[in-house]
A and B are shown apart, each in its own frame.
Chain A
Amino acid sequence: MSFSVPPAALFIAGAFLVVFLRGMPRSFLLLVLPVLSLLNLLSISDGIHWIIHFMDYKLIFGRVDRLSLAFGYIFTMISFIANLYALRVDNNPEHTAALLYTGSSLGVVFAGDFLTLLIFWEIMSIGAAYFIWARRTTASYAAGMRYLLVHIFGGFCLLCGILMHVHNTGSIEFGYLGLGGLASLLIFIGFGINCAWPGLHTWLTDAYPEATITGTVFLSAFTTKCAVYALARSFPGTEILIWIGAIMTLFPIFFAVIENDLRRVLSYSLINQVGFMVVGIGIGTHLALNGATAHAIADIIFKALLFMAMGAVLHQTGKINATEVGGLHRTMPITCTFCMVGAASISAFPLFSAFATKSLIIEAVAAGHMPIIWFILIFASAGVFHHAGIKIPFFTFFARDSGLRPKEPPLNMMAAMGIAAFLCVFIGVCPGFLYSILPYPVDYQPYTPCHIVAQLQLLFFSALAFTLLILAGIYPPEMRAINLDADWFLRKGANVLVWFITKPVSAVVAKINDAVTDALPKFLLWFGKNPPAALKIGADIIVYNFTDRAEDRQRLEKEKIIYPRDLLYPWSIGAAVSSVLIFLLIYLLVYFLYYKTGAA
């Protein structure tokens, strides 16, 4: 304990240090930081550490318990793998962004209060947006901008929710909230945007495929998983999450089947996998929360592995659309093998990671007697095998021969994929180790004959369906096309908004502007020359409109011509006094009425 530092601090310090380094020292720093961070985490005892008093509040940078440690371990481990994968990137800002992003993710996980959470939450968005911009294409610039806008909105929801929560309760503690009232709802939505809930998910499928090759690996690991952690912390057992999660597992698989960009296919399957975790959090039992945590850990590794394999293909060929690659197993057999390990893991094949983690969630669903959710999750399990397990490796490394003969990627990329692949198998073969770091004690045995055969049947018959559909020519051919998603409403809606503001709204504003700056002063100037005569003209206009007599019209015209002189005779004193009296009377009436009601 005495030698440890706040988990976020190491990486954030490293983010500033890496700016000055190149070559070997930089590589050394990138690989040593995660190791130091892991040792740091291992040396921290459970409890609350690093409290800073800020105004009337306590900012807590180290709330350490089994839940935060589980996420802390995996974040540190994946940062080693991703840094290794990105070792040859000769663009220091990208390394800075990576370390800042990793550090602030750890900051979120170990935050003990909402203010600390919010600060790190916002830093994450900026680090992530940089990965998207760093691709330096027109598409990535626009996608990064959309990413940032959505996350600024999410952060704003979170900020409003937190302010209201602090106002209502006086506490900034980041703990269990549960849904109830506007404050918790805003926080819930703020988390939900980062969690890629249906309808709020398009930032993910829009931006991740546009990010840099190495950036996507980082992105796939942290943002959504931080949201999963935050939901598990503040909203476990919130029933609506079960349905949100179930829909998340379901709709992306349909999009994934017809998507051409293979990294976008993986982005859809990322939402699908996070859906399983959200279901687990919604159920909220110990078994389910263990399942959500375990599956988050497994998913971070196999999704990173799949993104790394696709990144390797993009790195070596410059192509990532299913229509442009194919048959790469001839010259990239090792990458192909790693990809298939990732595919087997995400599909939950026995001996691979998700078999031991996803089943915890499905077991919890069954134990809670939720047949509809159960059917959806099993459907989604078959579907994920279909698009991530078969489609990704099949269209990249087999299918038709694209004629491309790329070499294997550089050694550091291979090593990173190798470590991730090893971990996928290790978790699958020895789930006990993973189970031992979960938040609650685990009493579950994934390897029963019944479970193995059931899962194998599900997977093999999904594969059978794929095979038969391909052989029969029914399987939808990959096409050079994009598929609309919910972001259509934002992207087209933005155009409508721009039109609405530049056309009708600005026309109305111009009218008002004219009236206020031009017509009104002119009228006042005219009116001020002789107010009684002006009033008389006004009155005569009204009279003439009612009577429509020729003599009234003539008088009116004459009055207008001679204005500001007038046709009025001076008022007699008696008339003037009586009009003053009338005003006094009105004043008295108003005063007494007000006084009386005021007194009552």
Chain B
Amino acid sequence: MKKKGSLSTALKVFLSIFFSVVVLLIIIDFFIPKDPHFRWEEYPSFYAVYGFVACVVLVLFAKYVLRPIVKRKEDYYEF
């Protein structure tokens, strides 16, 4: 799944563009007039932090909590 050690050049270019956009979004955030419904929407980069945390929580929960509970062999229901 992941290429250990050696990332291809195309991937490196893609990743550097991606990381630049990520940084750019944080910077832009300070210059955008906000139209919040909730007060936390005014916090700088609220959506960035929430999105990141949400996905990490999602993956960790799915991997370490849900999968051990529900994972079975593919022929589980065949008897």
Residues of A within 8 A of B (CB): 253-255, 257-258, 366-367, 369, 371, 374, 378-379, 382-383, 386, 399-400, 448-451, 453-467, 469-471, 473-485, 491
Q: Given A399-B1, A462-B52, do A386 and B58 touch, yes or no (CB 8 Å)? A: yes
Chain B, interface size: which category?
A: 35 or more
Task: Pick from A257, A379, A478, A483: contact of B59, CB below 8 A.
Answer: A257
| Complex Cα–Cα for A473 and B29 (A) | 31
CB pair B38 A458 closer than 8 Å: no
| Complex Cα–Cα for A254 and B2 (A) | 22
* Chain B proximity of A499: nearest CB distance (Å): 13
Which residues of chain B are near A477, meaning CB under 8 Å?
1
CB pair B50 A460 closer than 8 Å: no
Residues of B within 8 A of A (CB): 1-2, 15, 18, 21-22, 25-26, 28-29, 32-35, 37-38, 41, 45-52, 54-56, 58-63, 66-67, 69-74, 76-77
* Chain A proximity of B36: nearest CB distance (Å): 8
Q: Given A460-B22, A483-B71, do A386 and B66 touch, yes or no (CB 8 Å)? A: no
Q: Which residue of B lies closest to A142 (CB)?
A: B77
| Complex Cα–Cα for A386 and B62 (A) | 12
CB pair A458 B59 closer than 8 Å: no
| Complex Cα–Cα for A471 and B55 (A) | 15
CB pair B45 A457 closer than 8 Å: yes
Task: Pick from A382, A451, A467, A480: contact of B54, CB below 8 A.
Answer: A382
CB pair A258 B62 closer than 8 Å: yes
| Complex Cα–Cα for A465 and B45 (A) | 15
CB pair A475 B59 closer than 8 Å: yes
| Complex Cα–Cα for A255 and B62 (A) | 7
Q: Name the 5 nearest CB pairs between A and B, nearest first.
A: A366-B37, A465-B55, A476-B63, A458-B51, A257-B62
* Chain A proximity of B9: nearest CB distance (Å): 15
Q: How many A-B residue pairs have CB under 8 A?
A: 148
Q: Given A382-B55, A449-B33, A482-B73, do A460 and B48 touch, yes or no (CB 8 Å)? A: yes
Q: Which residue of B lies closest to A484 (CB)?
A: B70
CB pair B73 A253 closer than 8 Å: no
* Chain B proximity of A134: nearest CB distance (Å): 21
* Chain A proximity of B61: nearest CB distance (Å): 6
Which residues of chain B are near A369, meaning CB under 8 Å?
37
CB pair B47 A457 closer than 8 Å: yes
CB pair B51 A382 closer than 8 Å: yes
Q: Given A374-B38, A461-B49, do A254 and B56 touch, yes or no (CB 8 Å)? A: no
Which residues of chain A are near B54, meaning CB under 8 Å?
378-379, 382-383, 462
CB pair B51 A366 closer than 8 Å: no
Q: Given A257-B58, A386-B55, A471-B2, do A450 and B34 touch, yes or no (CB 8 Å)? A: yes
Q: Which residue of B lies closest to A476 (CB)?
A: B63
Central interface residue in B29, B34, B37, B62, by most chain A CB within 10 Å: B62
| Complex Cα–Cα for A474 and B64 (A) | 10
CB pair A254 B74 closer than 8 Å: no
Q: Given A453-B28, A456-B25, A473-B2, do A461 and B38 touch, yes or no (CB 8 Å)? A: no
